[in-house]
Structures are given as structure tokens and as C-alpha cells.
Amino acid sequence: MSSFKRTTARERGFTLIELMIAVAIIGILSAVAIPAYGNYVTRARLADAYSGLGTVQTAAEEYWSNNRTYVGFDRLPATSANFSYSLTSATASAYVVTAVGRGPAQDFSFTIDQNGGRATPHAPTGWTTSTSCWIDRKDGRCVQ
């Protein structure tokens, strides 16, 4: 006798139920993973503004220690794909620099002042704003 077992139609492939379960599992995982990935990408774009404004603060303090005024300060970060930077006010003793979102980050704006005060004056619908910190999540949590 032959040692080969004869396969029946039932043993050859997946049943329709098994395929439907696999598709349902993929759908559930996608429903969770895609929004989480989108939030992760947004937070990475916002980090561009945080690092740019942090650089501005250091440069502004250096300028003030050399000149004893912020008037004339112009060392702003270069415009990136996500943010442009502008000195929105500068006096002898105070300044405010604003990062305004561009492209995918267009609805965001962040500011920093001479005291290191951070604010999120504008954010997209569904996000919160803050007068005391930079927001990096929809639930209003501040950047540490």
C-alpha cells in the first residue's frame, strides 16, 4: 500500500468563515493603527517648531547679552516644510517669536517670549490651545 494519504476537498484550503475572520481582524487592527500613526506623524511635525523656537530663545539671549536690547534681533530659523518663523514683536526688553504652521501643520502656531514663556495660540479643530505651554496632543497635554 501507498503511504500517501488521499486529501479531501475539506482539507485543501480555507473556509469562507476563516477568511472572513481574518479580514475582520485586519480591519480592526487597521482601525486602531491608522489613527495612532497619523497622531504620531503630527507630533513629529510639531517637534520641528519646538526645536526651532528653542534655538531662537538661545540666540535671542545671546543677542541681548551682547547688545542689551532685543531691537534688531533677526536670527530666526529657516522656514521648513512644516513651519515658518517670525519675530512678532521686539523691544529693548522683550520679544515674541511665532512659529506658524505650513503644509500639513498649517493650523498650528506656537510662540516663545523673552522669559521662556510658551504658548499655543492656535490649533486645529479638535485640539486645545494654551497660553502657558506648547500643546502636542489632542487631549491638551503639554510638551515636557
User: Does pLDDT of 11 surpass 80?
Assistant: no
Q: CA 21, 27, 33, 36: dihedral to nearest 10 degrees?
A: -140
Nearest to 135 by CA among 122, 121, 120, 125: 120
Coil, strand or helix at 39: helix
Q: Are 76 and 60 in contact (CB under 8 A)?
A: no
Q: What is the pLDDT of residue 14?
A: 83
The CA distance from 85 to 79, in Å, is: 6
Residue corresponding to grid cell 502636542: 136
Q: Are 95 and 70 in contact (CB under 8 A)?
A: yes
* pLDDT tens figures, 91-143: 999 999 999 999 989 999 999 999 999 999 999 998 999 999 999 888 888 88
How many residues are there in the chain? Answer: 144
Q: Cα–Cα distance between 90 and 46 in angstroms, integer? A: 24
Compute the distance between CA of residue 95 and CA of residue 79 in angstroms, rounded to an integer. 19
CA distance 68 to 45: 34
pLDDT tens for residues 19-68?
999 999 999 988 888 877 878 888 899 999 999 999 999 999 999 999 99
Q: Average pLDDT for residues 2-20, to the nearest whole number?
A: 72
